[in-house]
Every structure is written in structure tokens, then in C-alpha cells.
Amino acid sequence: MDKQTEKDIDYQLIRSVQNGDMVAFNQIVDRYKNRLMNVIGRMLTSTEEAEDIVQETFVRVYKHRQSFNFQHCFSTWIYTIALNLARNELRRRKKFKFF
């Protein structure tokens, strides 16, 4: 019997989410929330801001679930979304420092 890889599990979950399965979406959140908090928490100083970014990441994953490309890794996709949101937040902060 083949052991399912992390990638296989992610693909199965996102496919289910694309078909409207909210339980699968909650499983994705459970799989990734701590990993994302670790990465984003190191980039931003405030835990609250990191939590907001992670939450917004999941909102975007859900909103754009139909556009996920199965030729790519789901983990890469979700990290890219989170890192871009965090970078935008850091850029926005820099702008406000001048005022």
C-alpha cells in the first residue's frame, strides 16, 4: 500500500475545498496555521498582526480556491500568499513612518 505524501493530502483537501467541502477547508487551516504563524511571526513584530496576515491568507486561499494550479505545490502557493501579504504590510508601515 502506498503511503500518502503531504503533497497528495494537500491536493486531496484543496480538490475537496474546490467542491465546496468546508470540513476539508478547516483541515487545511489546521495543517497550515501554526507553520504560517511561525514564518509570518518572525517577519512582523506583533503577534496580532501576524494572526491577521495568517487569517487573511486563509480568506484568500478560499476566495481563490478555483484558481489553484495542480501543477504546483499547494504549500508553495499558500506560503507565497502569506509572504506577499506580510511584505505588503511591511511596505505599508515604511510609508507611514515618514508622516
> Do residues 87 and 49 lie in contact, with contact meaning Cβ atoms separated by under 8 Å?
no
Average pLDDT, consecutive stretches of 10 residues, N- to C-terminus, the chain (99 residues): 87 98 98 98 93 98 98 97 96 72
Q: Give per-residue pLDDT as tens, 21-45.
A: 999 999 999 999 999 999 999 999 8
- Confidence (pLDDT) at 2: 66
Cβ-in-10-Å burial (0-12, 13-18, 19+) of 71 comes to exposed
- Residue for grid cell 513584530: 45
- The alpha carbon of residue 76 and the mean position of all alpha carbons in its chain are separated, in whole angstroms, by 9
